Amino acid sequence: MEENKLKTNETEEQVEITVERKLIELYTLQQVDSKIDKIRIIRGELPLEVQDLEDEIAGMETRMQKYNEELEKFTKDVADYKNKIKEATALIKKYEEQQNNVRNNREYESLTKEIEYQSLDIQLCEKRINDCTKKSEMLKVSMEETKARFEERKGDLELKKSELSSIVEETEKEEEELMARSKESEQLIEERLLAAYKRIRKNARNGLAVVKIERDACGGCFNKIPPQHQLDIRMHKKIIVCEYCGRILIDEDIVSMYNNN
């Protein structure tokens, strides 16, 4: 009887050590993964900024292309209107010469109307030339402003790209080392528990699946933990999750063991 009791105590001690080791490995994995998250957050914002700048620059290039097309159209329109003025002026001269050789008033009046028509056409062409010139000047101002902004944003883009390249270069090696450590830690955790850890991490806003008790509350969602649950967590006999957010809970002792490893 005494022998069986001794075996039971040894088994309980072994279970306690096993669970405690699991908690340490889980917390170790969480610490490594959190460091990877921080690297990716720092690096993650820059690619978005680079992409935004590239999109803005592409938009300005499209806008300047349209400005050029409009300017070319206005230039062509002005040239066409000037040709019409030349043709109308030539017709007026022709009609005026014909008026000197008319045989009756009817022919004279008919030529006079043609001259008036061509004069009105000249006035209309001059007005349209004036409108095109004003619009062209406005477009040129807009284009210069866009060009200045374009050059400014190109400079910003080169700066951001350089910054991103520098950060990638600095953090790439560290991230690779952390990823290797993460894989090593994963191998020390049983498959079912690892799957649960990854599921919790995926659903957690800050990527924290393992949190310690802080001021009698969950370090993830900050809800109060009942005293009995806190006692169970300190015993290290089973893995306990927060009943509110589902995160795996640990106590300060597990953190100390991790720091002393």
Write out the DSSP string of 61-109. Answer: HHHHHHHHHHHHHHHHHHHHHHHHHHHHHHHHHHHHHHHTT-SSHHHHH
Domain boundary among 187, 214, 231: 187
Domain boundary among 155, 187, 219: 187
**Total count of domains within the chain:** 2
The confidence score (pLDDT) of residue 174 equals 81
Average pLDDT over the chain reads: 86
pLDDT band of 94, cuts 50, 70, 90:
very high
The confidence score (pLDDT) of residue 141 equals 94
The confidence score (pLDDT) of residue 171 equals 77
- Is residue 232 located within the same domain as residue 248? yes
The confidence score (pLDDT) of residue 4 equals 41
Residue 193 reports pLDDT greater than 60: yes
> What value does the mean pLDDT take over residues 24-35?
90
- Give 238's DSSP letter: S
- Is residue 71 located within the same domain as residue 153? yes
- Is residue 92 located within the same domain as residue 171? yes
- Is residue 140 located within the same domain as residue 259? no
The confidence score (pLDDT) of residue 38 equals 86
Q: Which secondary-structure segment (H or E) carries 249? A: strand 248-250
pLDDT 10s digits, 36-66 = 888 888 777 788 888 899 999 999 999 999 9
Domain boundary among 166, 187, 208: 187
Measure the CA–CA gap between 35 and 185, rounded to whole angstroms: 14
Residue 93 reports pLDDT greater than 70: yes
The confidence score (pLDDT) of residue 150 equals 94
Residue 166 reports pLDDT greater than 90: no
pLDDT band of 13, cuts 50, 70, 90:
very low
The confidence score (pLDDT) of residue 165 equals 83
For the entire predicted model, the pTM comes to: 0.51
- Is residue 183 located within the same domain as residue 194? no
Residue with tokens 């720092």: 42
Measure the CA–CA gap between 6 and 112, rounded to whole angstroms: 131
Q: 71 near 132, Cβ under 8 Å?
A: no
- Domain range for 217 is 190-261
- Is residue 87 located within the same domain as residue 160? yes
Residue 12 reports pLDDT greater than 70: no
